[in-house]
Amino acid sequence: MTTIAEKSPELMTVSKFAIKQVIIGIDPGAETGLAFYSDSKIVKLESGSHSGMLFKVYEAFETENIALNVILEDVHADSTNFVAATFIKGMMNNPELKKQIPNEKNRMAYCINAACKRSRDSGMAAGLANDWKVFLEMKRIPYATMAPSKRDNAETLFNRLGKAIPKDLNGLIRTLTAPTKLNQKQFNDLTGWTKGSNEHTRDAGTLALWYAKQQKMISQN
């Protein structure tokens, strides 16, 4: 019979009596991203279905000598409520979108579709985050939440800077708060991760890394 520790060797302790502190970053969604942070580095990334990732965290919870602490992206923690009319107005006035879709009726149809998708995604994310909170509270796993609006969207920032992006891009990224939308190279440079990743695991990874820094579990070198 395969033990939980054998399934997740990255989380095993070197001593039978040691307690390993593990931070798990969670990016909820139809495809949920998980990042496991321990010993001053990200040791594991996983993504998959909502239920599948819940079970992965349950497995970690059941592993002996592991103390979990979770940081969860949660739209409920966001004081900035999504307002479709404001969203559509902002998109309609976006200079880049005006160039791409000069016809006003076509641009309006595009903006309405985008607003509907954003609204659906926000509602789903809120429900999934609530599932996570119920599970974590039931298992008495300590957790904190972070609103999406409190995180820096790297892609948006780089687009806004345009040609003004500094040469030391890594230095800029290190100043961002739990950045989202990093590509794989940017993520690897920031975290030291050398294996594959996707947008969900990268968003979970930067969340875990940021939280570890707040908890002073990260090397300052």
Q: What is the pLDDT of residues 86-106, one digit of tens each?
A: 777 788 888 888 889 999 888
Amino acid symbol at 168: D
Q: For the purposes of burial, counting CB atoms within 10 Å of the CB of 154, is it exposed (0-12), middle (13-18) or buried (19 or more)?
A: buried
In the predicted structure, residue 221 carries a pLDDT above the cut 60 = no
- pTM of this structure: 0.72
Q: Is the dihedral of CA 150, 153, 154, 158 positive or negative?
A: negative
Q: For the purposes of burial, counting CB atoms within 10 Å of the CB of 130, is it exposed (0-12), middle (13-18) or buried (19 or more)?
A: middle
CB neighbours of residue 30 within 10 Å: 11
Query: 159 — phi, psi (to 5°)?
Result: -65, -40
Please, are residues 22 and 36 in contact by the beta-carbon 8 Å criterion?
yes
- Pick from 102-106, 124-128, 209-213: least confident: 124-128
Please, are residues 147 and 75 in contact by the beta-carbon 8 Å criterion?
yes
Average pLDDT, the chain: 81
CA-to-CA dists, residue 74 to 2, 87, 114, 130, 131, angstroms: 34, 20, 21, 8, 11
Average pLDDT over residues 127-139: 89
In the predicted structure, residue 151 carries a pLDDT above the cut 70 = yes
Helix, strand, coil % in the chain, rounded to nearest 5? 55, 15, 30
Both tokens of 197, joined, read: 């990743």
Residues 6+ apart with CB under 8 A from 52: 32
Res 36: pLDDT: 97
Render pLDDT for 4-44 as a digit per residue (tens, 0 to 9): 344 454 554 433 445 789 999 999 988 999 999 998 899 99
Q: Hey, what domains does the chain have and what are their CATH numbers?
A: 4-80+123-214 (3.30.420.140)
**pLDDT: which is higher, 124 or 210:** 210
